[in-house]
Amino acid sequence: MHFDCTVLIFTPNILFLCSGVVDWLEKRQLPCFYKSVLGIECPGCGMQRALIALLRGDFISSLKLYPALIPTIVMLGLLLVHIFYNLKHGAKMLVSLFIFNTVIIVISYIYKLIV
């Protein structure tokens, strides 16, 4: 039997069904090329760990690891809906979400470099 983890991930009773997928993802995280070459984190560092934390149901840790992950997921979801249904104000909402995500990424990156 196959379950779609993206749909069932926030249902506590069914969360255990996706644990094998999350464990598989956790074991196969990609190293950051930018960090290995330059020795400092890139603006995307933490996204894989944040996604794994989110899939495990740890919302707070996910936000701490990479604050822009959830708004990025929302933006990508809106993009898919806009592509298929051509929303009236979809393009404006996408631009707003893109700017919002960019601001979050830049602020969190500067914060990581300072702290």
In 44-68, alpha helices (H): 47-55, 59-65
What are 99-110's pLDDT values in tens digits? Answer: 999 999 999 999
User: What is the length of the chain?
Assistant: 115
Angle at 97 between CA 95 and CA 98, to 5 degrees: 60
pTM beyond 0.85, yes or no:
no
Q: Please state, for a pLDDT cut of 90, what percent of the chain lies above it.
A: 75
Residue 111 backbone zone (phi > 0: left; psi -120 to 50: alpha; other: beta): alpha
Tokens of 56: 């495990």
Q: Is the pLDDT of residue 75 over 70?
A: yes
Residue 20's pLDDT band, with cuts at 50, 70 and 90, is: confident
- The confidence score (pLDDT) of residue 5 equals 53
Domain boundaries, the chain: 1-62, 67-115
